[in-house]
């Protein structure tokens, strides 16, 4: 499928938005998570009706490689075997999972607070 200039521009705009979002990373992890989640949702929504699946795949690859501290290594499938992990390592992993869960809960509260503020401004 040949791409026209508009499609090429949309693809470049998508990549540019991802890179610009990465450049705006703040020191607040909650704000970063909110921005990353919203950007990822926008990218994933494009998967419903992809005009060019390759640029969506590339956008996701760019997104993950920029934002994940340790992106998955799909080529050599390196990872941590949970069965062979020490108790200390398992505790650290569960601690990080709990931390991520807390961030998600804070994000929900933050979004609810923003909605209330927005509703008050509209009244």
Interval 29-45: pLDDT, tens? 787 778 778 778 877 77
Q: Mean pLDDT across the stretch 99-123?
A: 85
State how far the Cα of 118 lies from the Cα of 123, in Å rounded to an integer.
9
Q: Whose CA is closest to 106, among 27, 31, 42, 22?
A: 31
pTM of the predicted model over 0.75: no
Cα–Cα separations (whole angstroms), residue 101 to 22, 81, 106, 107: 22, 22, 9, 10
pLDDT interval class at 49 (50, 70, 90): low
State how far the Cα of 114 lies from the Cα of 99, in Å rounded to an integer.
22
Q: Whose CA is closest to 25, among 71, 69, 73?
A: 69
Cα–Cα separations (whole angstroms), residue 82 to 58, 72, 79, 87: 30, 16, 9, 10
pLDDT at 71: 56
66 or 103: which leads in pLDDT: 103
């Amino acid at each position: 499928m040949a791409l026209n200039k508009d499609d090429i521009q949309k693809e470049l705009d998508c990549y540019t938005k991802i890179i610009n979002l990465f450049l705006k990373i703040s020191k607040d992890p909650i704000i970063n998570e909110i921005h990353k989640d919203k950007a990822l949702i926008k990218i994933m929504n494009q998967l419903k009706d992809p005009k060019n699946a390759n640029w969506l795949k590339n956008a996701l690859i760019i997104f993950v490689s920029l934002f994940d501290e340790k992106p998955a290594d799909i080529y050599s499938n390196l990872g941590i075997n949970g069965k062979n992990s020490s108790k200390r390592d398992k505790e650290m992993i569960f601690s990080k999972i709990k931390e991520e869960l807390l961030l998600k809960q804070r994000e929900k509260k933050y979004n609810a607070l923003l909605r209330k503020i927005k509703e008050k401004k509209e009244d």
